[in-house]
Amino acid sequence: MTLLTAGKVKMSGWVLMIVAAVLVAGFFVMSQTRANETSREARGWELIAQGALLVDVRTPEEFASGHLENAVNIPHTETVARLSEYGANKNQSIVVYCRSGNRSGIAEGLLVEHGFTNVHNAGGYEAIMKVKP
């Protein structure tokens, strides 16, 4: 082995260590992101246990196929107009969920725009069920 070849071997060892460090750091960041995703569902359960109004913002058909116990069904486009049907006031704790968290995010935004102060997007139905206490 020549001196030049030995230098390449040493350099490739450093490159491998740097690549390994980047992969480990990436895994750590991904695991932290996943933990944060889970926390919104877990926080939803905490609020439900404290008496929050639970609103499934999916379609009536989706709701009929399975929903959280004690949830009321108000499609996301109707939440602002229909919450009063369930005695909700603007300071009440409200938890919204849907299939994936997108429509519940829209509903949350609309409710906040209309002065509701304690709205939580708990994400998607299946994700919530995975962390059910």
> pTM for this structure?
0.73
Q: How many domains does the chain have?
A: 1
Which member of 53, 55, 98, 111 is catalytic?
98
Longest dimension (CA), the chain: 83
41-81: pLDDT as tens digits: 999 999 999 999 999 999 999 999 999 999 999 999 999 99
Please report, to the nearest 10 degrees, the dihedral formed by the alpha carbons of residues 31, 32, 37, 38 taken in order.
80
CATH of the domain at 81: 3.40.250.10
The parent domain of residue 100 ranges over 5-130
Between the CA of residue 74 and those of 1, 54, 71, 80, 116, what are the distances in Å? 74, 10, 9, 9, 16
54 has catalytic annotation: no
Whether pLDDT at 29 is above 80: no
Helices (H) and strands (E) in the chain, counts: 5, 4
83-127: pLDDT as tens digits: 999 999 999 999 999 999 999 999 999 999 999 999 999 999 999
